[in-house]
Amino acid sequence: MTTIGAGDLQGAGGNWATVGRRSRGGRRVRRQREKRKGKSVGLRIGALNVGTMTGKGRELTDMMERRKVDILCVQETRWKGSKARSMRAGFKLFYYGVDSKRNGVGVVLKEEFGRNVLEVKRVSDRVMSLKLETEGVNVVSGYAKQVGCEPEEKERFWSELDEVIENIPMGERVVIGADFNGHVGVGNTGDEEVMGKFGVKERNLEGQMVVDFAKRMDMAVVNTYFQKREEHRVTYKSGGRSTHVDYILCRRGSLKEISDCKVVVGESVARQHRMVVCRMTLMVCKKKRSKIEIESGWSGSAAR
């Protein structure tokens, strides 16, 4: 972004300012635009139900390197424990599980982001979150109960996820990568504020829970905003079934920072699920000096 001073005059040759009065020999000199002091940070964040992490560490990190994924939320890790584990090429996995036969969630981070983890919250073997130093980004990995589970079990998952999001300050970014085991469906009539038109097939009860959650938490279902061929929207294929159950969500106000989101095809890390990846661009701004600091600095120089 560019800030232009009140005295700047736009012209074919760039920005100009008049110094002195033209009638008394004042001269026009070129003045550069004042650039916003800061830089942009690109992030590629994904979600994938891996089926199990056992024996897949190298394959997973190879895929992340090849696809240039910085952060990956993983579900159904089936690893018991509450740990952080270093992986090859500097990647790091934070995970939580209570049973080595089912469930389990985790987040895999590229080295530069793995060093910037400020806080880890392991809520259950279906919900965990990480807070990064990078511009207040919070990453949440979730794994919803499957179709056919008792309603009380499903409600417990959504209650846990609600609590995690409610405890993140509104000024901080949130990105959720999750297997929600539901179909939000094609179209967005009545739900335009939280999703786009580009889902897959028809909405089911579990998909409605995703939409209801997005409305409660003022979030957006990122996958549905980008028009792609169906092959790049389907996240689950098995036995002739093709559907959309893996999602990335963000705060509605962060949608402007996301330039793309699609499903990656042609990878074999997971047998039935496909990785979905979104591309974000964050502006990292240098904090401006306060008015008091400016005045203080001026007074000090004047005193000298």
- What does the pLDDT look like over 241-291, one tens digit per residue? 899 999 999 999 999 999 999 999 999 999 999 999 999 999 776 555 444
- Which pLDDT band, with edges at 50, 70 and 90, does 125 fall under? very high
Tens digits of residue pLDDT in 155-189: 999 999 999 999 999 999 999 999 999 999 999 99
d(CA 302, CA 304): 5
> What's residue 149's pLDDT?
80
Is the dihedral angle over the CA atoms 79, 66, 272, 210 positive or is it negative? positive
Mean local confidence (pLDDT), 136-148 = 91
Full-model pTM: 0.81
- The 10s digit of each residue's pLDDT in 200-256 is 999 999 999 999 999 999 999 999 999 999 999 999 998 888 999 999 999 999 999
| Helices 151-166, 205-217: crossing angle, 10 deg rounding | 20
More confident residue, 11 or 240: 240
Q: Is domain 43-285 given the CATH code 3.60.10.10 in the classification?
A: yes
User: What DSSP assignment string belongs to 146-174?
Assistant: PTTS-HHHHHHHHHHHHHHHHTS-TTSEE
| Lowest mean per-residue pLDDT among 4-8, 26-30, 253-257 | 4-8
Domain ranges of the chain: 43-285
> Would you say residue 2 has pLDDT above 90?
no
In whole angstroms, how far apart are CA 204 and each of 49, 90, 149, 201?
Answer: 20, 40, 14, 10
The count of other CB atoms within 10 Å of the CB of residue 199 is 23
